[in-house]
Amino acid sequence: MFECLHSTHVFTSPNDDNGYDISDYRGIMKEFGTMKDFDELLKGMHQRKIKLVLDLVVNHSSDEHVWFRESRKSRTNPYRNYYHWWNAEKGKPSHRYSFFDVEGSAWKYDSTTDAYYLHYFSEKQPDLNWENPKVRKEIYDMMHFWFKKGVDGFRMDVISAISKDTTFPELPAKYKGDYIAYYAEGPYLHKYLKEMNEKILSKYDVISVAEGLGVTTETAHKFVDQERKELDMLYHFEGMGLGYLPGQFRQMDPKGKSLTDFKKIYSKWDSVFAKKGWGTIYLGNHDQPRMVTRWGNDAPKYREASSKMLTTFLLTMRATPYYYFGDELGMNNIKFDKIEDYRDIETINYYRKLQNEGGDLDYFLQGQKISARDNGRTPFQWDDSKNAGFTKGKPWLKVNPNYKKINVAAQEKDPDSVLNYFRKMVRLRKSLPELIYGKYELLDRDNEKVYAYTRALNKKKVLVLLNFSTSLTKFEIPKTSGSLNVLMNNIASLNIKNNIVTLEPYQALLIRLK
């Protein structure tokens, strides 16, 4: 069986948004090496039976891409229609929200041609005009280029937003101000995905996974229903905002987050693919803080147990787990105190926006300690040498000072480390088809401390018990005919009496019931 590696942002980029602003889709960012290095990497991975999935960032390019440099030169430039322009004599275009803009506006005025261009993300990330067939052809040719090299698939960055109503009307009332929902329902989105499938994806043995911004349980099948011949998988965002204040930028809700809501979300998404299609599951990636800080507990006493518990969750759900590097070590948020430590445009520009509006900057920085993306982007911790063995150069972000203790070298030596637990869980999942394909059934839905479910296939059943709390918690194991067989336990102790298990804080147990 192949493993998969998803490698992001390796294309040439001025790095306004950590590589999500591409200036050459066929070049490798100089910080990462050369095309020769890439070819060697791909070959080496294939020799080791690891697949390589690249990031396809084609909702927008960099403003330093030659297409945009040409496009902005004149209104009659052959590349003009590669992007979305709005001539200023028509008046101001109707508002579009930008994720990274200091003023929150996705239209940037460009005096060279007296026109505005559209950028859903930063002003250095102009949106490509998918309604132009030439743009689509350029993108498909570029995909061919990478597939011919042998890459194994694409993760498709904000692919849900590629199609736009180019009359740019006021936001229709039915979206109630929700721009993300609107962006994900462009008029020709599915036409383009079908076209891409027909022209490119269907010609190769590859996988595609959509970043499903704005995709809901109602719309998911439109992307991944096999009969529609569009994409293979998507990942949703519903879980990611849990515990944030509604409408606020990654700000923790002082009321906290509830486990029952968490269960509701993941159970609902399981049911979407129960009969048809296939889901994904993740708790961390380069756009999220560290999994253990956000969903577990990174206090020294609980960091290891809760990291392992979350790993147990990810590897026992019916979906393809997307597991973010560093989480297998239990790396946690760095929690910067000052804005100067951040490199992420999202945090920096939101800070500036608040500054201009006279907002509460201290409150914002406090929240970012939990939620900022840079928390998940600090250098990987290999060993206890300088810069955690990550580089001899100067890393772009500070190394988490806990690297002396939390690193691969130390965890390799410890059979009970978070890393070795991760390995055991991967092996277990691969060896038990019920953990991959088995039916998921939620138990004790209203329990605010324990997430319990079973996975069953062909008369085999495994119970998963996850204590998401800091308290000792009793749970009654459903009666079985045979004896209970504990397949996995993330901590040293086990307390089961008469089918009642007393779970330690953050304990995770896998118990065979049949």
As annotated, the active-site residues are 157, 211
Q: Does 162 bind ligand NOJ (CB under 6 A)?
A: no
What are the start-end ranges of the E strands in 194-325?
207-211, 233-235, 280-281, 320-321
Nearer to ligand NOJ, 64 or 287 (CB): 287
Nearer to ligand NOJ, 195 or 287 (CB): 287
User: Minimum distance between the CB of residue 385 and ligand NOJ, rounded to whole angstroms?
Assistant: 29
Nearest alpha carbon to residue 449 among 511, 510, 370, 505: 505
Size of interface with ligand NOJ, in residues (CB under 6 A): 9
Residue 189 contacts residue 220 (beta carbons within 8 Å) = no
Question: What is the CA 108 to chain-centroid distance, rounded?
Answer: 28
User: Minimum distance between the CB of residue 510 and ligand NOJ, rounded to whole angstroms?
Assistant: 32
Question: Strand pairing of 50-56 and 3-7?
Answer: parallel
Q: Does 434 bind ligand NOJ (CB under 6 A)?
A: no
Encode 324-392 in three state secondary structure.
CCCHHHCCCCCCCCCHHHCCCHHHHHHHHHHHHHCCCHHHHHHHHHHHCHHHHCCCCCCCCCHHHHCCC
Residue 434 contacts residue 449 (beta carbons within 8 Å) = no
In DSSP terms, which residues pair with 476 in a beta bridge?
500
Q: Which of 16, 101, 123, 157 binds ligand NOJ (CB under 6 A)?
A: 157
In DSSP terms, which residues pair with 118 in a beta bridge?
107
Name residues whose C-beta falls within 8 Å of residue 81's C-beta, 6 or more positions apart in sequence. 71, 129, 132, 134, 135
Q: Does 64 bind ligand NOJ (CB under 6 A)?
A: no
Q: Which of 67, 86, 107, 121 binds ligand NOJ (CB under 6 A)?
A: 121
Residue 314 contacts residue 283 (beta carbons within 8 Å) = yes
Nearer to ligand NOJ, 235 or 295 (CB): 235
Tell me how far apart the 2 most distant CA atoms of the chain are, in Å.
80
Q: Where are the alpha helices (DSSP H) in 126-256?
A: 133-149, 179-183, 189-199, 220-224
User: Minimum distance between the CB of residue 285 and ligand NOJ, rounded to whole angstroms?
Assistant: 7
| Whole-number Å distance between alpha carbons of 208 and 187 | 21
User: Minimum distance between the CB of residue 372 and ligand NOJ, rounded to whole angstroms?
Assistant: 12
Considering only residues 266 through 295, tell me which ones interact with ligand NOJ, judged by CB under 6 A. Answer: 286-287
Q: Which of 56, 57, 406, 425 binds ligand NOJ (CB under 6 A)?
A: 57
Q: Does 123 bind ligand NOJ (CB under 6 A)?
A: no
One character per residue 395-424, x = contact with ligand NOJ (rule: CB under 6 A): ------------------------------
Residue 111 falls in which region: left (phi positive, over 0), alpha (psi -120 to 50) or beta: alpha
Q: Does 70 bind ligand NOJ (CB under 6 A)?
A: no
Nearer to ligand NOJ, 288 or 311 (CB): 288
User: Minimum distance between the CB of residue 196 and ligand NOJ, rounded to whole angstroms?
Assistant: 18
Q: Does 210 bind ligand NOJ (CB under 6 A)?
A: no
Nearer to ligand NOJ, 121 or 313 (CB): 121
CA angle 349, 350, 351 (to 5 degrees): 90
Q: Does 158 bind ligand NOJ (CB under 6 A)?
A: yes
Residue number with the shortest CB distance to ligand NOJ? 20
CA angle 53, 157, 18 (to 5 degrees): 90
User: Minimum distance between the CB of residue 287 and ligand NOJ, rounded to whole angstroms?
Assistant: 5
User: Minimum distance between the CB of residue 331 and ligand NOJ, rounded to whole angstroms?
Assistant: 18
The amino acid present at 446, given as its one-letter code, is D
Nearer to ligand NOJ, 251 or 288 (CB): 288
Q: Does 20 bind ligand NOJ (CB under 6 A)?
A: yes
SS3 of the chain: helix, strand, coil, percent, to 5: 35, 20, 45
Nearest alpha carbon to residue 510 among 297, 325, 501, 458: 501
User: Minimum distance between the CB of residue 213 and ligand NOJ, rounded to whole angstroms?
Assistant: 7
Nearer to ligand NOJ, 10 or 511 (CB): 10
Q: Which of 16, 17, 123, 298 binds ligand NOJ (CB under 6 A)?
A: 17
Q: Does 211 bind ligand NOJ (CB under 6 A)?
A: yes
Q: Does 130 bind ligand NOJ (CB under 6 A)?
A: no
Nearer to ligand NOJ, 250 or 286 (CB): 286
In DSSP terms, which residues pair with 501 in a beta bridge?
475, 496
One character per residue 321-340, x = contact with ligand NOJ (rule: CB under 6 A): --------------------
Q: How far is CA 402 from CA 377, 406, 506, in A?
A: 15, 6, 21
Nearer to ligand NOJ, 211 or 434 (CB): 211
Residue 476 falls in which region: left (phi positive, over 0), alpha (psi -120 to 50) or beta: beta
User: Minimum distance between the CB of residue 57 and ligand NOJ, rounded to whole angstroms?
Assistant: 6
Which residues here bind ligand NOJ, judged by CB under 6 A?
17, 20, 57, 121, 157-158, 211, 286-287
